[in-house]
Amino acid sequence: MKLSIAAFIVLAGMTLPSVGEAQVDNQFAWGVNAGAAIASRDLAKNHNTGVSAGVTFAFGGVGQFVGIRVDGIFNRFGATSDTTAGNARILAATLNLVVSVLGESRRVYLTGGVGGYGIRPNVAGQKSVNDFGLNGGLGLWLPGVSGYIEARYHHFYRALENKQPAVFVPVTVGILF
């Protein structure tokens, strides 16, 4: 009996460092992303689809069931030709929960969270507005390249001149390091 307990302890001691090392490698990651930002609702009345870029810090493991991401994003929207609204830039910092779905492969995930947003219109006389917002989306993890494709709905409260929300959907491709 003592021999089997000793053998179990030795075997566990030999396997734990490799398991622990694999988990440590995936506990923290940072990344970059870029893509298109699709203006929606009231934001789309005066602005075209724009560009989105960002930086990501991921906690809790890449490809694990649950994780946390902190995202910083920059979005730029051009003005539609029939308005004098001018271009608009939206900056945001968001805190998001990431949950894998669809079984063991954990390639598809849902994400959502809250953040601080700021809009800066490129029109004389219009002020910048800062407020909070919510976001949620769906992503596909690409494990061969440590990357992802993601679409996320952002609802930035009281952002526009008429106190309506700025709603936009960035569709981005990112890579984690």
* pLDDT tens, residue by residue, 56-87: 999 875 557 788 999 999 999 888 876 666 78
**144 or 112, higher pLDDT:** 112
Q: Is residue 18 part of a domain?
A: no
The confidence score (pLDDT) of residue 129 equals: 83
pLDDT band at 105 (very low <50, low <70, confident <90, very high): low
Q: Is residue 44 part of a domain?
A: yes
Query: What's the CATH number where 77 sits?
Result: 2.40.160.20
Label each residue of the chain as H, E or C. CHHHHHHHHHHHHHHHHHHHHHHHHCCEEEEEEEEEEEEEHHHHHHECCEEEEEEEEEECCCCCCEEEEEEEEEEEECECCCCCCCCEEEEEEEEEEEEEECCCCCCEEEEEEEEEEEEEECCCCCCCEEEEEEEEEEEEEEHHHCEEEEEEEEEECCCCCCCCCEEEEEEEEEEEC
Q: Each residue of 24-64: pLDDT tens digit?
A: 345 788 999 999 999 888 877 887 899 999 999 998 755 57
- Please tell me the pTM assigned to this model: 0.79
Give me the number of domains the chain comprises: 1
Q: Is residue 6 part of a domain?
A: no
pLDDT band at 96 (very low <50, low <70, confident <90, very high): very high
Q: Is residue 10 part of a domain?
A: no
Domain of residue 71, residue span: 26-176
The percent of residues above 70 in pLDDT, for the chain, comes to: 77
